[in-house]
Amino acid sequence: MVNRMQFYIDGGWVDPVVKGKSTPVVNPATEEPMYEIALGSRADVDKAVAAAKRAFATYSQTSREERVALLSKIVEIYKGRMKEIGAAVSDEMGAPLPMAEKLQAGAGLGHLMNTLEVLKKYEFEETMGSAVVVREPVGVVGMITPWNWPLNQIACKVAPALAAGCTMILKPSEFTPTSA
């Protein structure tokens, strides 16, 4: 059993500010614990928000082309990890492996690809009569995801945030953290 006792903050894996709080992740098909995960504290959230705010200063200034390149790279990596993603979803949700690979992992990939296609043509600036409407990044996006469609919901939230030029913090379900 490999425990997962760190959080991904500011571009790297870090220990929790408050150590010692954890919970088991249980395979619902076997009812056996697979590993322990760290539970975050308010201090961990504050640390993540501060990092996302710092990153927003530069990421919000990226061009459409840079965001397209980033989402394209994410899609490429995601495609290469479909089996691994499906296995994680299957273990954590108890879904049959073919369903986890095709529907769960596939839905997430579909959202990423659709957002990428929209981004390629999206008008961030539009003239309406004598006015100009400018759509621009607004800040850090806070995201919480459910256990039952973890990858789908993450992709539905992360892809548009990245496309818009926003940074984010994500709190995955403690029941399905690996698929996040």
Residues 21/43, Cβ–Cβ less than 8 Å = no
**pLDDT tens figures, 126-162:** 999 999 999 999 999 999 998 888 888 999 999 999 9
pLDDT, tens digit (0-9, with 9 covering 90-100), for 168-178? 999 999 998 88
> How many domains does the chain fold into?
1
Residue 51 falls within a domain, yes or no?
yes
CATH number of the domain residue 69 falls in: 3.40.605.10
How does residue 1 score in pLDDT terms, banded at 50, 70 and 90? low
In 3D space, the residue among 119, 101, 117, 110 whose CA is nearest the CA of residue 152 turns out to be 110
Whether 41 is in a domain gets the answer yes
The whole-number pLDDT of residue 180 equals 77
Q: Is residue 138 part of a domain?
A: yes
Q: What percent of the chain has pLDDT over 90?
A: 82
Residue 2 has pLDDT above 80, yes or no: no
Instruction: Decide if 30 is inside a domain.
Output: yes
Q: Does residue 119 have a pLDDT over 70?
A: yes
The verdict on residue 2 lying in a domain is no
Give Cβ neighbours of residue 146 (< 8 Å, ≥ 6 apart). 153, 173
Query: Do the domain assignments include residue 92?
Result: yes
Torsion of CA 80, 69, 172, 178, to 10 degrees: 20
180 located within any domain: no
Range of the domain at 33: 7-171
What SS3 state is found at 172?
Answer: coil
pLDDT at 98: 92
pLDDT digits (tens, 9 = 90+) for 62-95: 999 999 999 999 999 999 999 999 999 999 988 8
pLDDT at 143: 96
Report the DSSP pairing between strands 141-144 and 168-171: parallel
Lowest mean pLDDT among 53-62, 109-118, 147-156: 147-156
Tell me the pTM.
0.91
Tens-place pLDDT, residues 10-44: 999 999 999 889 999 999 989 999 999 999 999 99
Could you tell me the sign of the dihedral formed by the alpha carbons of 17, 2, 151, 91, in that order? negative
Contact 20, 38 (CB under 8 A): no
Contact 34, 91 (CB under 8 A): yes
What's the one-letter identity of residue 126? E
So what's the pLDDT on residue 63? 97
Classify residue 176: in a domain, yes or no. no
pLDDT for position 151 = 85
